[in-house]
Amino acid sequence: MALNTQIKGWFNSLQARVMVSALLMILIILPSIAIILNNAFTEQVQSSIQNELIASSYSILALAEVDNQQLQMPEQLLNNQFNASGSGLYALMVKTDNTKQNTIWSSPSFIGLTSPNTLPTPAIGESRFSKQVIDNKNHLVYSFTVSFIEQQQAFTITLHIVKDQSGFAIMVAKFQQTLWTWLGSIMAVLLILQFFLLKFTLRPLSKLQKELKQIEQGNKHKIEHQYPLELARVSKQLNTLLTAQKNQRKRYRNALSDLAHSLKNPLAVMQSQGNLTTSSLQQLSLMNKTIEHQLKRAQSGGETAWHVGIKIEPIAKKLVNSLHKIYQQKDLVINSVIDEKAIFNGEESDLFEILGNLLDNACKAANKAINLHVTQSETQLTLSISDDGSGISTALQENILQRGTRADTYQQGHGIGLAIVRDLVSSYQGNLTIDHSHELGGALFTITFKR
């Protein structure tokens, strides 16, 4: 599954698509050109051989004579290939009587070979090319039918010029070997050049990707490198967006802080009145908690367009050290297993709220032990906190996770903190689950964020 995910991710990148497209172009176009060249060469050589056979037929017919219905041919021919036995170039003259073919003359070069019985017989004045197997070898045959007139009597014969195809096959094979050798070399050179050219062309995109990743991890606050014209506007707009968002979040938090103070002061004055009933004090306390809850929800960075990466390990260590001091009397053991590379893509204050509330609730509910595990994969960040307390009932688990549930419906020890955690996790499109811890026996809170 992980390998398939990596492969799909690689093919979704622009660099991979461009490289695959270039590779396919090279692998399709160059072999196609080679096939066209090979076919053209083969046809050209075959056409040359055919012209050679036609010319040879004229030279032999020029020497042929008919006397008393008998063919007269000289013992030696002008072309020495017809005179040398087994030279690969042969001539036959065949007379057809009642569909039976009779060889009436053959060149000296044909001595020792078997005349085939399937030679074509074109009409008078016509010619034909064919392929014949003679003594287990392929031959190209040019057949031409002529008629000699002697004393008003026709003497019709078919001249067959036969060419051994072995030389032709060797020539084509050598050409193909040379062609594909050079083609393979050219393809290798082109692929190497294409790779480096694409790496050079796409280098700005890779550099921009690295800078964006550094910004997400919190190592940078803006894009610093200079990019080509096509990317310069994008980088400028991203820097503008980052600056504007940061300033907006700062103004928003300041406004909410002022609102919180303006609401809490009148509430504090009202709570200090001595003539208030217990019920009124409870309602004022609930109003105070509700205002705090809603203000924290409004301050969440989960709905922002850009999330900067925050390392989880140092924040978790700070919280654990603080909780050890706060709950010193309980002598709690907090076991932390945190991936050093784990990154939370969001506001640092939101991460403090999520981890702080869950760890604080675990400390309240725990007898002696608490486990904190943080793991990160390529696709998911997982935070789990468990304790050895009495746990949370199934009915109450569902009630806590239900949106809109009031904070005062939670059991003692989990209070408004879970409502804050629930809403913060939801704002980051994360998932919160509550279960029974098989390891410690108490409650198990698991939060997952997609990367």
**What DSSP element (H or E) covers 156?**
strand 153-164
Taking only the tens place, the pLDDT of each residue in 150-209 is 777 888 889 999 999 888 888 889 999 999 999 889 888 888 888 888 888 878 877 887
pLDDT band at 407 (very low <50, low <70, confident <90, very high): very low
Q: Could you tell me if 193 and 187 are in contact, meaning their C-beta atoms sit under 8 angstroms apart?
A: no
The answer, yes or no, to whether residue 7 has pLDDT greater than 60, is: no
**Residue, of 6 and 319, whose pLDDT is higher:** 319
Q: How far apart are CA 320 and CA 334, in angstroms?
A: 7
Average pLDDT over residues 268-292: 69
Model pLDDT, residue 416: 61
**What DSSP element (H or E) covers 101?**
strand 100-106
Taking only the tens place, the pLDDT of each residue in 417-449 is 677 788 788 878 889 988 888 888 889 999 998
**Residue, of 202 and 307, whose pLDDT is higher:** 202
Average pLDDT over residues 13-42: 84
Which range (19-23, 221-225, 262-266) has the least confidence?
262-266
Domain positions in the chain are 63-164, 222-299, 307-450
Assigned token pair, 215: 């910004």
Q: How far apart are CA 50 and CA 143, in angstroms?
A: 11
C-alpha torsion angle, residues 22, 27, 32, 33 (rounded to 10): 70
Topology, domain 307-450: Heat Shock Protein 90 (3.30.565)
pTM: 0.49
Three state DSSP letters for 280-310: HHHHHHHHHHHHHHHHHHHHCCCCCCCCCEE
Residues facing residue 149 across a β-bridge = 154
